[in-house]
Amino acid sequence: MSITPILLVGAGRMGGAMLDGWAGVKAFDPAGIGVLDPHPSEAAARAAARGSSLIPDPSTARTVLLAVKPQIWREAAAELEPALAPDAVIVSIAAGVTATDLKAAFGGRAVARVMPTTAVAIGRGTASIYAADAEARARAHALFAPVATVVELEDEARMDAATAVSGSGPAYLYAFVEALEAAGVAAGLPAGESAALARSTIQGAAALMAQSGVDPAELRRQVTSPGGTTAAALAVLMGEGGLEPLLNKAVAAAAARSRELG
Ligand SMILES: NC(=O)c1ccc[n+]([C@@H]2O[C@H](COP(=O)([O-])OP(=O)(O)OC[C@H]3O[C@@H](n4cnc5c(N)ncnc54)[C@H](OP(=O)(O)O)[C@@H]3O)[C@@H](O)[C@H]2O)c1
């Protein structure tokens, strides 16, 4: 069953990333994508230049990708629902908003929930998918698989943890790089040199992990000589109050916030 026309509702940071990502891999005919947003972003303008409509007719949409902020999703849904075809399928990326609430707000239509990352913009995203309905799950796959590694969650309750690990995860890495850059400066490097070293080192290490397929724990052991410099740093990072308890706390806080948003 065809998933187009697709109606993207909200083309902000994440919706815009989807538009750019789909275009990068030519996932869909741009004419089959409509974008609904009161203030179209640059990504929406790029989509329009490729042939997508910025004044789409919601009644023609087969698949609706709901990408507005969780705080205003009910308002957006109430506005849209009467205009949709009865068999339109809803795929939502709104953090914390449950499938039950989505289904009720969209007149009982089939729904899927997805938690993506912004790297979908370059075809390297990650997307956690949950749907009770098989057709909705298939639509969510069709939307995200072209631009993301898809992980299917069997239980909706896991979406809060998936959001905390994956949806929010890119920010953890960026915060880590910021802190590494600052630590380099504190250790005596000029800011520019510290930034270049920290950024390139993290990019290379991540690429090596991806390409080799080797476990991170094994890769860590490979670069840690007993009694060496890395071992001295890891005694701090993996010691009491180190990364693991810190990330446990951070991920638990994100998961709790995801539950609150719902
Ligand atoms: N950013 C991320 O990394 C990320 C990751 C995973 C999931 N998400 C989820 O993605 C969703 C969107 O987040 P975001 O960061 O992309 O937010 P955003 O940048 O604020 O984008 C939301 C867009 O929706 C527009 N909008 C507001 N009301 C609308 C309506 N009634 N109909 C259509 N469009 C409307 C907004 O326009 P105005 O600016 O004019 O209000 C804005 O352009 C959230 O639910 C979030 O949980 C985000």
With contact defined as beta carbons under 8 Å apart, do 81 and 104 qualify?
no
The mean pLDDT of 191-208, rounded to a whole number, is 98
Q: Which residues pair with 151 in a beta bridge?
A: 128
Tokens at residue 73, please?
Answer: 């999703």
Residue 165's beta-bridge partner residues?
none
Q: What is the CATH number of domain 6-158?
A: 3.40.50.720
Quick one: average pLDDT of 242-251? 97
Q: Is the CB of 194 under 6 A from ligand 1?
A: no
Distance 210 CA to ligand 1 centre (A): 30
**Is 40 a pocket residue for ligand 1 (Cβ < 6 Å)?**
no
> In the chain, what percentage of residues exceed pLDDT 90?
97
Tens digit of pLDDT for each residue in 92-107?
999 999 999 999 999 9
Sequence spans of domains, the chain? 6-158
Peptide bond into 5 cis (omega under 30): yes
| Residue 16 beta carbon below 6 angstroms from any ligand 1 atom | no
Q: How many C-alpha atoms does 207 have within 13 Å on its Cβ side? A: 6
Among the listed residues 157, 151, 78, the one whose alpha carbon sits nearest the alpha carbon of residue 117:
151
Measured distance CA(105)–CA(9) in Å, rounded = 15
pLDDT of residue 1: 62
| CA–centroid distance, residue 16 to ligand 1 (Å) | 9
Dump pLDDT digits (tens) for 130-155: 999 999 999 999 999 999 999 999 99
Q: Is the CB of 37 under 6 A from ligand 1?
A: yes
- Quote the CA–CA distance of 62 and 48 in Å, as a whole number: 19
Q: Residue 92's closest CA among 112, 118, 109, 116?
A: 112
Nearest CA to ligand 1 atom 36: 10
- The response to whether residue 85 sits with its C-beta less than 6 Å from ligand 1 reads no
Ligand 1 mean position to 108 CA, how many Å?
23
% of the chain exceeding 70 in pLDDT = 100
Please work out whether the CB of residue 159 comes within 6 Å of at least one atom of ligand 1: no
Ligand 1 centroid, distance to 92 Cα (angstroms): 11
Alpha-carbon distance of 116 to 129, in angstroms, equals 9
Residue-level pLDDT at 10: 98
